[in-house]
Every structure is written in C-alpha cells, then in structure tokens.
Structure 1
Amino acid sequence: MRNLIKKLKNFLLDNLDIVLFVIIIPMKLIKFDRLIYPEYTHYKLIIKPILSSTICALSIAVIFKNKIRTRILYILDIVISILVIVDTVYFRYFKDIISIGVIKNGVMLGGVKSSVTSLISPYDFLYLIDVVLLIPFLFFYRRHKRYELKLIFRFALFFILVIPAGYVNGKTIYKMSVSQPNLLKTMYNKVYINKFLGTLDFHVLDLYNVTENKISNSKRLSKDTENTIKNALNKNEANAPSSMTGLYKGKNLIMIQVEALQQFVINSKVENQEITPNLNRWINKSLYFNNFFYQVSSGNTSDAEFLANNSFYPAASGAAYYLYAGNTYSSLAKEMNDNNYYTAVLHGYKEGFWNRNVMYKAEKFKDFFGEKSFNINENVGLGLSDKSFLNQSFNKLKSFSSPYYSFIITLSSHYPYDDTKGYGDFNVGDYEGTLLGNYLKGIHYTDAQLGTFLDKLEKSGIMDNSVVILYGDHYAIPKDKINDLYDFENIKNPTDLDWYELQKVPMLIHFPKDQYKGINSEYSGQIDLYPTIANMFNLPQNYMLGTDLFASKNRNVIFRNGSFTDGNVFYVSWTNTYYDIKTGSVIPESTKLKQEKDNALTQLEYSDNTLNHNLIKKFTVKQKK
C-alpha cells in the first residue's frame, strides 16, 4: 500500500503542471461564460466543449519534454487569461465577443483611451492571479526530477488525448451546425456560439473562418451568383415611385449623425426636466420615425456612417471602414457628385480615426473637414466640443455653393460621458454618479448645441432650401449597465425583446417650411436612409440593400447578428427565439417566420459577397461597356 501511495504521489508530482492546467483553465472559461450568460446555469452542456478544448491545447504540450511542456502550459495559461480579459472588456461595451477582424482594427480604438480604460475593472485581473502565484512553484518545480517519457510514448499520449477530445468538440460543433445552419460559417452570432462552445473553441473557429474566407474570397463567384446579387441590389424597379419622388432634386442635404443618441431620451424627463427639449421641439416640426433602429456592428460610429451612405450591412467581423476602404462604391456622395452637388464631411476628431481619411475618398466625398480644419478652442469629452464644432460647421456651410450634401458627425456625447464641463448642473437625481446619469447630462448638453445649430440654419434661411436629416448612430448604455436603463424605463423582469426595443435611435427629416411634419411608425433602420434620400433627390438606386421609407411597406429590419423584426415579430438570434411585439410573449417558429429568418441571412450574405468581392466595381465596369 505504501508503495502504491508513493508511486501515486510521484505520478502526481511528475504531472502536477498538467493537473493544474486542466483545473485552472476550465474554471476561467466557465467564469467568462457566466458573464455573458448569467442566467445560463446548465453546465453539463458547456463543460464538455470547455474541457475538450482545454485537453486539445494540453495535447500539444505533452509532445515535448517535461520542462518544455511546463513552460508551454504556463505560456498557454497567460495567453488564455489575457484573451479572457480582452473578451470580458470587449463584451462590456459591445455586447459581443472579440474577433480577429476587430483585433485588426485595434489600432483605431487606441484613440479612445478613456473609453477603454473605463471598461476595465480591477477584478478582471483576477484571471491572472494564478499566473503570479505559480512563479515560485515553477522555480521549485524545475528542480524536481521527473520521469521522462520517450518520444514515441509522448506522441501516443498526444493521440490518446486529442482523439476523444476532438471527437467531443466535433460532435458539439456538428449539433450546432444542424440546429443553426450557416451560423458557424457566417459567425453572425458570436455570443450564441461562445455560449455553447466556450471561448477557446470560438476563437479557433474564428481563426479558421478568417483563413477559409480569405481562401474562398480569392475564388471567383459564379456568374449566376453575381447576377442574383446584382438583381437584389437594383432597387430602381423594386421601389415604386412615391409622393416624395424627385421633390427635392436640387435642394441641399444636411445629414447630422449624433453620437450615442438613443430614442429613450426623446420626450423624456428626469427630475421634471426635459432631457432633450430642443430635439423634442424640432421633432414637432419634422417627420419623425419612432421605430428606427441602429444596425451597427463592431465598427460602431463608422458602421452607422457606412450604412447611411452606402446601404450595405457592416462587416461580419471588424469594421467595413478598415476592411473595404479599397472598394468601389455607388455611395450617396458619389451619386450626389454626379448630379453636380458639392459633397463634404465635417467631424471634429482625428482624420485617421476609423480610417475615415481613406474611406471618404473611396466614397467620393470631395472634402473632409476633420480635426485639422477646425480651431480646437474648447474640448468636451474626446475632443472638440459640440458647441464649438457646430458653430464652426455653420460658418463652413454658409460658404458652400449650393446644391451641396454635408455630412456632419458630432462627438461630445461619446462614451464614457465623464466630462461634465458645461452641463454638470443638469440634475439627474438618483442617477447622479452613474453611467446613465452622466449620459443624460452629456446628451442634454449635445441637445442644447443641436438646438442652437438648427435654429441658426432656420434663421439664416438655409433651411428654406435644404432637407435636414438627423439620427443617432448607436446605443449609449452598454449591456453591463442596462439595469439602470431598465429602472429608468420602469421595465420589470426584462426580456431580450425589451433590450432590442431600447435599441431604437431617433431619426427625423425636416423639410423646408416644416412640410410633412408628423410621425411615421414603420419599422426601419439606418440601411434605409440612402434609398429614401435617393428617391427624394431623384438619384439612381442601383446598388443598395435598404428600401425607400416612402415607397416600401412591411420591410424587415435586419441586424448583423441575424436578428430581425418585421414590425410584428422580433426574432432574437442569440436565443433563437421569436417574440410577438404587441404582447411580448414568445411564439413558435412558423413556415413564414423561418422564411424570413432565412431571408435575413441571405441579405447579409449578399452584402458580404458584394463587399468581399468588390462586386460594385465589376458591375459598373460592365455597365460602361
């Protein structure tokens, strides 16, 4: 018995690095899985892929001799820990899992240091505590003489570990591919994948898909596929003329994209004060779309610009402004140029941020007035204050020759809303000191500057010859702070439907002399802006996926993760659940709803294929011939 105990003790000591790895890594991965799905308690589903992926990583290390094996496992622990921390921080803000496409864009996120640092919690570094504690263990462990297996036995051990672990992983992935066709290929719902496969499997799949996509994108699409996509993009025949067709040809277009402006602040009060009194006033003078959604993905603000100016969906992973800056576009600016308009972007931040200085050229804007074009005389938040920016922008607009298209992007109400200069006296009551309270102050400040700017446009007479479109770019409150918003909205026992209904952003169109003022309750999204403008200004509608808000009814609003709504039903992709919007109840999938879900994925695929293969360039070259 003593001999057996001694042998067992020596065996454990010889393989203590393996034992610790198999215990510590799954604990970290399960903890992260609990973060993204706190209500998800059935560990029996997630523990299998997490353990099998951990063992697959371990199997590589066992090929090497003991000392090298221990170092490899320690390095893997560090890498996986850092990966989980990055995933955690990214999820707090984006409600998504980081991918290779996003990492490629990481250099552009560096300019928003305050946003990133505010998301990091000291508790996140607990993932690294074992890495520190294991340092003395490694120092003493290397002195321990361990039994060394021969190379042939180490390879045998590799196969003994990797074959069953790979089988479990493969079986889990296969089950997901059957229940959610196209999910693993498109990776459109990263959170759902991570929920069932775990972080390691997700990132391996992401790497595989990026590699496979590069290979497949290098291959030409069939002519039939290209023609199908071309027909889907051609809206000239699909959109019947409406009462707005061509009415504003020759008028100026002023489009204002407002940073982090969400609909819940419109016509709302805190401590008996209007949060957005100026926008409320202008909404009453405009046509207001009260069921308008942002459709951005990892590119956030840049994605909103991309949707509005090109009527294509954001990139499946990463930012379109970075990935597709070399493409050819039939953009709003390009078509305006062809109709003798002057086109310009005005934004008070760094020209290279989000690759704007490159992308705006691809979209054929004639001028880009960035940070260097403004007098940086007052800062609020990330950079030039909205007050100074909009005052200087107004002066620039006055110098533009009509007709013109000016695309204006605000900045001050950018996350994390921690600069209260100029609006700190706005009383937010119980929300003082919270992210929501800071946001309410920030958007109240921006509202005041927008009110002044719009009033100037009106008093100067510019509005008499202009159509003004104003909309929010993306959400303001990250998912980890959503409970304060639920409280603000008095939502009890929130569902995913409640979450999505809060993802609406204001969108108003102001016509000269306050014409057509009222409310439009059609469900719509940012991808529909360009087709709507094209209709009003009598521009071609050859290459776009959105639909004209005045000529189309019963459209589907599709989101990058595969969720969609037709105004009656809301499909939430990450739980594969349908909600009746009126009752809030979960409903079963019908044949019609299944077709709508498949159509949503098809639309996303059309967008991805067009962008990945630069099809608009091919289509326009054929047209010229």
Structure 2
Amino acid sequence: MGQALKKVRSGLNTRLGFFILAVLLFSIKSYFAYKTKFSLGVSGGMQQLLLAFNPVPFAVLLLGLALYMRGRKSYWFMLLIDAIMATWLFANILYYREFSDFLTFNLMKGSSAVSNNLNQSIAGIIHPTDFLVFADVIVLIIVLAFKWIKMDTRAFKFRYAAIVSGLAVLLFGANLSLAESDRSGLLTRTFDNNYIVKYLGLEAYTVYDGVKTTQNNATKANADSSDLTSVQKFLSKNRVAPNVEYSGVAKGKNVFIIHLESLQQFMIDYKWDGQEVMPNIDKLYHSSDTLSFDNFYNQVGQGKTADAEMMLENSLYGLPEGSAMVMDGTTNTFQAAPAILDQQGYTTAAFHGDVPSFWNRDNTYKSWGYDYFFSKSYFANGNKASYNLGYGMKDKIFLKDAAQYVQQLPQPFYAKLITVTNHYPYIIDSQNESIKPFNTGDSTVDPYVQTARYLDQSVGEFMSWLKKSGLEKNSMVVLYGDHYGISNNHKPAIAKLLGKKKVTNYDLANFQKVPFMIHMPGLKGGIKHTYGGEIDVLPTLLNLLGVKNTDTIQFGSDLLATNRKQTVAFRDGDFVSPTYTKYGGDYYDSTTGKQLKKLTATQKRTVNDMQNYVTNSLAASDKVINGDLLRFYQPSGFKKVIKGAYNYKKSAALKQLKKANKKQKTSVVSKNNGKSTMSEYQTDAPELKK
C-alpha cells in the first residue's frame, strides 16, 4: 500500500501527473454541479454516463494548453485556466437558478441593459454550496503552496503536449458520437440549451453559442430581400382570417397596455390567508365587458420581459439566446404596434419607472415608433429612494405619476405602462404589506403573494381613476402577465401552491400560463378557452381596432378567430395545444394530463405536425430578426419609421407634448378646460401620505 502511494506521489510531482489531477478534480466538480445545481432532465444510463464524461474533453483541451509552456509558468497558467472555468460555472449556476437557462454571448453583450439593481437579486440567489465549484482550484493552490506536490520544471516535449491536445479532440468526437446516438440532430435541431449542456458539457455549449452568435452576425450582413420568400410562404400558408364579429368594435378608442410584471394565471381567483389575493384584477377578469383568456401562455426565452414586449408589439418571437431588444433594437427595422397606430392618428407613449436604458428601451422604442417614452426622470417621485424598490418605482407611486402625463396625451392614444414591483426578488417593505407571505418554506417564493397583492391594489387604483376621469368609457384596457414569476427550479413550492404532492412536466407547462384580458365598456366579454400566447396579441388588438392587417410579417393570429391553429410554441421548441402537450421532452394528453410514454402511429403523426409548425415558426421569426429582413419589406400603407425623428430627452418631449396639445386639443386636460384630473386619483400609498 505504502509503495503504491509513493508511486502516486511520485507521479503527481511530474507535470503530466499534476495535469491529470487537475482534469480529474475539474471533472468531479463539474459533475457535482450538473447533478445538484441544474435541472438537465437526465434519464437512463447513457445520459448519466455522458453527464459524467462530458467535462473531460474540454478540461483536457483547455488545461492541456499549459503543457506548451515552460517551467513554473505552466503550473500557474493551468491554475488560471481552471479558475476562469470555475468562475464561468459559478456565473451560470447563479443565472440558471432563476432563469432556467445558461449565459450566452448575446446576453453578456447586453448585460448593461439589465445590470441595474441586480445586487439584491444575486444576494438572494447565492447558496453557500455554490462556492464548492472553486474547491478544486483551492486544493491545487494549497498542495503547491505547501509543496505537497512539487513543481516539475523540466521541459515538457512539444510533441507530448500535441498528443494531449489530439486526445482531447478524439475524446470530444467520442462524446459527440455517443450524444448523437441518443439525441440525433443535437446541434442542428434543438432550441433547448439544456440538451447541449447535458450531452456535451458547459464548455462545449459556450463554444456552440459563440459560433452561433458569429453566424447570426454574418447572416445579417449577407441577408437580402430573397430571404423573405420562405418566410412569406410560411405565413401565407398559416394565416388565419380574424373574427368578423369583433372587427373594429374598438375603432378610435384609446388603448392601454398594462404590463403585469411576473404575474401568473394561477393567481387569478387565488385565496390565501382567508383572503382573495387579487380582488381588483379578479373583478376585471370576470367582468361581462372583459374578454379573458384562461389558456394564454408566456412564450419568452432569455429576454424575459423584453421578449414579451417584442411579441406583444411586433408578433415576432424573442431570440433563442439573449434579447432582441438589446441586440437588434437599435439597428433593426420594425413594423411595431406604436408605428402602426401612430399612422392611424394615435399618440403613442410608453411609461416605465426606471432608467430608460433598461433592456435598451430608449433606443428600441424609437425603432418601434413611440412618440414618447416617460421614464424615471420624468416623474416627480422618481428619484426618491423610499419611493423605489427593486427594479424601479413602486407601482402605486409610478401609476399615479404616470397618470399625470396620460391625461395630457392627445386622444386617441396608445399607452403602455410597465409595472415592476412584482419582480424577483419580490421585495416589499413592511408599510406596504397587506397579506402574509406564502408558507411553502421557499424564501424566494413566499413573498410573491405580497408583491402580487400590491400590484393588484395598484391596478385597482389606476382603474378607479380611469373611471373618474372619464377615460374608461373611451378606452380599451389590455392587461397581461409578461412571464412566470416562480421558475421551474422551485418545484416543491409550486406543488404546494397548486395543492399537489409533486409536479410533472405537464403541470410545469400549464404553470407558464399568464393572465390576458381585454376590458372595454360595451365589449361582448366572457372567458375564452382558446389556446394562445403573447405572439397572438398584436393581430387580436389590430382586429378589434379595425386596422388592416392582411400583409404584415406577424407570426400570431387573432385569438378570437374561429378556425385558428391552437398550437402554442415555447421558445425552446416545446409546445402546448388542446390535444397534446410537449414539455421537457415528455408528451402528455392535454385533456387528462396523462403522460404518453409510447405514442401510437396516429399520435406520432399529429405531434410531428405540431413540432414542425413550432420549429418552422420559430426559425422563420429568427430569420426575420437575425437578418433584419423587414428592411426589405413594407406592408401597403405603412411608412417606414424614421428613428431620428424621436427625442426622449425630457425637455424636448415635454415641449413636443405641449405643442401637440395646442394643436389637437383632444387630451383629457384640454377637454377639461385645462384643469388636471389628478385630484380624482386616490391612492393609499403610505409614502405619499407622509
């Protein structure tokens, strides 16, 4: 035994021995992280084997670079590479914990757009065991520092280093072959990053993402008008005629888009602590003049809120990685709702109680054709610390301050108001608490009910003002949840909230439902059961407003159409429909929730048709955005947006608003003989009472 240990010690005192130890420790650490920090959906012996093996090829390749260096530098370079890989793994663990996805180059490129206020979020995400990913680096530093392993300063022959590099390539080839045998088309057909990490490892995924990003950049540079042909062919084949009964029923009405941050459908009619959690939104949902949809899904990817905005106002999907608003919002050509309605005589404005650069809104909104963008600096209470929480102004204060400008907008107008208080990490100060937290035992999930209640109260106050100011009777109010608030990484808590022992992938698919409702006095309302998502909002609204929409590049359809396709695409390529659900690689009968472990020939044909539609729809939308193809196409009657015509600087915008009111005299204030309606706005915000 002692002789064997002596040989091992002697081997570790060579550079090759130290390298093998570093590779081994890195692989063990990576496997530990894959198993405990990510939800990769590993099943079966082959997938378990690949999960354990896939860290090895890139560890051999990257750590092996140090073998080309001389003396002590080789050891320190090996430690540096190991530390960089550990840091990258650590960053992905934190990101994955709340967003169920991995970091991408596009996301990092746009990191400044989402960095505001992230310190609080990160503090809530980190678990002590996350730091174990640095354990191998620390161990290697210690054994060298205390000379338990001595540095071998002898020259390591170049040909041996090259053999190690060659071995890494062979190992990766074997890894890829085994992966392809278990999941064919892994690198060409998947929309889910989890598959790539599961089969090939985090480092391979990073390389894959880098290649893809470079290819997308080249695509835009090389794109031309002929690239639109396949897109238009797909849209023509799948275009559905809108509902004639509802066409134009809201013609000439103001449009409010109220963005319900992170609000999920399960909260509708939810009772907790002996109370109805959201009485105001529930009342709207069940109103006879509200169209409500109980099978409406969020379809966002990594861009989350930005993806929801992209779909809502363009009927284009977000990108498979990063945010299209960040990556393409400044330079791409769009034919968005604000521009469409502006050319129909509408004043268009967006309201957000945070900095204008968040998600690159200050540039993207110009590309979309917004006349005004009222951000934090516009609001009297915007810069007071106690009036802000998490990602911007508290909703009650924000909506009241926004109303000050809403009443000045020439009618008809299109106004989008983005709430933020119901955003992770669901912070609420004690003076604004009105319901006790959930008792799931998950510290991330439990305060969600408190911020959701606060959001509901905020909406209730705003809707009350709309009625008192007279705006409600001449407006269509659209309320929607942008994405999930509670991620799939909180399964025990989700099960408890849903009253289940445990949740299946079918339950998680349905947990992606978000509220969507359209309220207007006199509207023939009711709860609609059609399956749809955020991609369908724009065609639905344009039909209600009586706006021609027959030759646009849009991937959704009118939610009220009688013969619409009801297959809802998720960004990763999964889908839901009234008949079948595919989520996390599993298939379910949508009517019973029963898993279909073995599909019949008929079922296979049906789900394959659905999958082809989803895959082709996502790919065609990506083609439009990545190639900036709308620069080559203009619907009849639509004028191209001139981005330089918009100025969101406060002094310039307010001057423009004043000028518009003198010319049109259709704003609420103008019709009220110059008198403000703000005395009608009642809020119980304790900060304002002080």
State the TM-score, normalized to the length of structure 1. Answer: 0.92
The AA in structure 2 aligned to 1:349 is D
CA 1:500–1:433: 2 relative to 1, 3 Å: closer
Distance in 1, Cα, partners of 2:225 & 2:442:
57
CA 1:180–1:371: 2 relative to 1, 3 Å: farther
CA 1:390–1:163: 2 relative to 1, 3 Å: closer
Could you tell me which residue of structure 2 aligns to residue 116 of structure 1? Answer: 122
Q: SS of the counterpart of 1:299?
A: coil
Alignment of 1:79-478 (within 5 A): 79-113=84-118, 114-139=120-145, 144-159=151-166, 161-175=167-181, 179-181=183-185, 183-185=186-188, 188-220=191-223, 223=226, 225-233=227-235, 238-285=240-287, 286-325=290-329, 326-376=331-381, 377=384, 378-428=387-437, 430-431=439-440, 434-478=443-487
Distance in 1, Cα, partners of 2:413 & 2:11:
78
CA 1:466–1:158: 2 relative to 1, 3 Å: closer
Give identity over the alignment, percent.
27
For the 8 Å contact 1:64–1:154, the answer to whether it is kept is no
Shift of 1:481: 2.6
CA 1:244–1:4: 2 relative to 1, 3 Å: closer
Cα deviation, 1:232-263, whole Å, max 9, x if unaligned, reads 44699632452111222211111111111111
CA 1:106–1:416: 2 relative to 1, 3 Å: same
Worse overlay, 414-423 or 436-445: 414-423
Distance in 2, Cα, partners of 1:8 & 1:494:
48
Shift of 1:490: 0.8
Distance in 1, Cα, partners of 2:165 & 2:233:
52
For the 8 Å contact 1:233–1:545, the answer to whether it is kept is yes
The AA in structure 1 aligned to 2:298 is Y
Whether 1:46 aligns to 2:42 is: no
The AA in structure 1 aligned to 2:130 is D
Q: SS of the counterpart of 2:205?
A: helix
Shift of 1:458: 1.9
CA 1:539–1:175: 2 relative to 1, 3 Å: farther
Cα deviation, 1:554-607, whole Å, max 9, x if unaligned, reads 3211111001112221112x42x2111122222225112112112211111111
Whether 1:10 aligns to 2:24 is: no
CA 1:422–1:447: 2 relative to 1, 3 Å: farther
Worse overlay, 39-48 or 459-468: 39-48
CA 1:517–1:22: 2 relative to 1, 3 Å: same
CA 1:310–1:235: 2 relative to 1, 3 Å: farther
Could you tell me which residue of structure 2 aligns to residue 560 of structure 1? Answer: 571
For the 8 Å contact 2:392–2:420, the answer to whether it is kept is yes
For the 8 Å contact 1:236–1:540, the answer to whether it is kept is no
Could you tell me which residue of structure 2 aligns to residue 598 of structure 1? Answer: 612
Distance in 1, Cα, partners of 2:7 & 2:440:
62
For the 8 Å contact 1:423–1:444, the answer to whether it is kept is no
The AA in structure 2 aligned to 1:220 is A
Distance in 2, Cα, partners of 1:436 & 1:170:
38
Distance in 1, Cα, partners of 2:225 & 2:406:
46
The AA in structure 2 aligned to 1:566 is S
Shift of 1:433: 7.9
Distance in 1, Cα, partners of 2:405 & 2:2:
89
The AA in structure 2 aligned to 1:511 is M
Could you tell me which residue of structure 2 aligns to residue 31 of structure 1? Answer: 32
Cα deviation, 1:292-349, whole Å, max 9, x if unaligned, reads 1111111111111111000000011100111111111111111101101100001111
The AA in structure 1 aligned to 2:285 is I
CA 1:186–1:78: 2 relative to 1, 3 Å: farther
Could you tell me which residue of structure 1 aligns to residue 541 of structure 2? Answer: 533
Worse overlay, 500-509 or 144-153: 144-153
Shift of 1:95: 0.9
The AA in structure 2 aligned to 1:37 is S
Shift of 1:55: 2.1
Distance in 1, Cα, partners of 2:590 & 2:233:
32
For the 8 Å contact 1:234–1:543, the answer to whether it is kept is no
Alignment of 1:578-597 (within 5 A): 578-587=587-596, 588=599, 590-597=604-611
The AA in structure 1 aligned to 2:543 is N
The AA in structure 2 aligned to 1:596 is M
Worse overlay, 103-112 or 64-73: 64-73
Distance in 2, Cα, partners of 1:566 & 1:221:
35
For the 8 Å contact 2:571–2:618, the answer to whether it is kept is yes
For the 8 Å contact 1:308–1:529, the answer to whether it is kept is yes
For the 8 Å contact 2:280–2:456, the answer to whether it is kept is yes
For the 8 Å contact 2:176–2:200, the answer to whether it is kept is no
Shift of 1:351: 0.7
RMSD over aligned Cα atoms:
2.6
CA 1:163–1:330: 2 relative to 1, 3 Å: closer
Quick one: which of 599, 611, 616 aligns to 2:630? 616
Aligned length: 617
For the 8 Å contact 1:469–1:509, the answer to whether it is kept is yes
CA 1:175–1:244: 2 relative to 1, 3 Å: same
The AA in structure 2 aligned to 1:155 is A
The AA in structure 1 aligned to 2:400 is N
Distance in 2, Cα, partners of 1:3 & 1:87:
42
Worse overlay, 485-494 or 261-270: 485-494
Quick one: which of 586, 589, 607 aligns to 2:621? 607
For the 8 Å contact 2:362–2:373, the answer to whether it is kept is yes
The AA in structure 2 aligned to 1:116 is I
State the TM-score, normalized to the length of structure 2. Answer: 0.84
Distance in 2, Cα, partners of 1:282 & 1:235:
36
For the 8 Å contact 1:413–1:442, the answer to whether it is kept is yes
The AA in structure 2 aligned to 1:28 is K
Cα deviation, 1:40-70, whole Å, max 9, x if unaligned, reads 3643232232223322334433333353332
Shift of 1:520: 0.3
The AA in structure 2 aligned to 1:544 is Q
For the 8 Å contact 1:557–1:566, the answer to whether it is kept is yes
The AA in structure 2 aligned to 1:260 is S
Worse overlay, 335-344 or 61-70: 61-70
The AA in structure 2 aligned to 1:611 is I
CA 1:62–1:453: 2 relative to 1, 3 Å: same
Distance in 2, Cα, partners of 1:517 & 1:5:
79
Query: Which runs of 5 or more structure 2 residues have no equivalent in the other structure?
Result: 641-690
The AA in structure 1 aligned to 2:250 is Y
Distance in 1, Cα, partners of 2:484 & 2:3:
65
CA 1:186–1:110: 2 relative to 1, 3 Å: farther
Could you tell me which residue of structure 1 aligns to residue 686 of structure 2? Answer: none
CA 1:216–1:389: 2 relative to 1, 3 Å: closer
Quick one: which of 569, 579, 604 aligns to 2:580? 569
